[in-house]
Amino acid sequence: MNKVLVTGAAGQLGRTILAASPMGWECRGLTRHDLDLRDAQAIESLIMTERPELVINAGAYTAVDRAEAESDLAMVVNARAPGALAGALSTYGGRLVQISTDYVFDGRSSRPYLPTDPVNPLSVYGTTKAAGESAAGPDAIILRTSWVHAAGGQNFVTTMLRLMREREELSVVCDQIGAPSWAPDIARTIWQLAAQRHPGIYHHCDAGQATWYELARAIADEALALGLISRAPKIRPVTSDLYPAAARRPAYSVLDDSDTRALLGDATAHWRVNLRRMLEEQATFG
């Protein structure tokens, strides 16, 4: 049986990866209490003791704005940790799956980003994730994804649900375009890529694209239909300059995952379909 370690096991993606593990894989989830990704010696010691065939690194420093003030910490977790994992695994032929982000791009493209497009991050977070891709090395599987959401997780969808219950009016940014990604479909892609054993950079996202405002409108529509909210709030589109943040975000960060889909012989559902699935699951949380 193939031994797999999954870092970030307490996060929404880590939990989903573990839940989706296929037959024939012996999986162990690692939270920050099990493995401190800031400690390269601890990483090497654990890898050499466990000797997993595969490590799926879903652990990361993801506080995009706070990273601007904590760049050293973000670099250690997002870049040096993947390097330490890759180095230890390489000593006996173990493999690494490194999760990355659309924020490695600058948003100036006029079409969805290909895995081969040059990176040019705008933020410390994006810079550290791009550095993590390099540190993972040429033998790793690197999967970039975007706007991740899962039922019960901390994400834009669950934040909007909370605010829609609390407020009668919301303002949501309408000048940033991306593609939502439902965590169960990301997990499915990760396991399929792991089975293919083809190293390289891959993209995954739901079909279609949206602004944060369009996503918020869809959340309100679906949540109202499912009884997750009692009334639809007024949602006002605003430009991002009205909500200054510490970190710059790409204005356009849609990922082209056609190469991934061709390799795996599948397709992703439209983001609106997966949003409905996610909210149906969220409804079971009460």
Q: What's the average pLDDT block by block, 10 residues per block, for the chain (286 residues)? A: 92 97 93 95 96 97 96 98 98 97 97 98 98 97 98 96 96 97 98 94 98 98 96 95 91 98 97 98 87
Amino acid at the residue 266: D
Catalytically active residues, by annotation: 125
Nearest to 161 by CA among 226, 207, 238, 211: 226
Q: Running DSSP on this structure, what letter comes out for residue 100?
A: E
Task: Note every long-range contact of 62-71, with CB atoms under 8 Å and residues 24 or more positions apart, other chains counting.
Answer: 62/125, 63/125, 64/103, 64/123, 64/125, 64/245, 64/247, 64/249, 65/245, 65/246, 65/247, 66/246, 67/123, 67/124, 67/125, 67/128, 67/247, 68/123, 68/124, 68/246, 68/247, 69/246, 71/124, 71/128
Cα(78)–Cα(65) distance, integer angstroms: 15
Contact assessment for residue 123 and residue 69, using Cβ atoms and an 8 Å cutoff:
no
The pTM of the full predicted model, rounded to 2 decimals, is: 0.96
- Is residue 211 within 8 Å of residue 180, measured between CB atoms? no
Query: Which H or E run includes 125?
Result: helix 124-136
Q: Angle 156-166/271-283 helices, nearest 10 degrees?
A: 60
Distance CA 179, CA 250 (A): 12
Q: What angle do CA 153, 210, 134 make, to 5 degrees?
A: 65
Q: At what angle do helices 183-196 and 12-19 cross, to 10 degrees?
A: 60
Angle between helices 81-90 and 124-136 (to 10 degrees): 10
Domains and CATH numbers, the chain: 2-153+180-207 (3.40.50.720)
Which distant-in-sequence residues (6+ apart) come within 8 Å of 258 by Cβ? none
Whole-angstrom distance, CA of residue 142 vs CA of residue 150 = 21
What pLDDT does 286 receive? 64
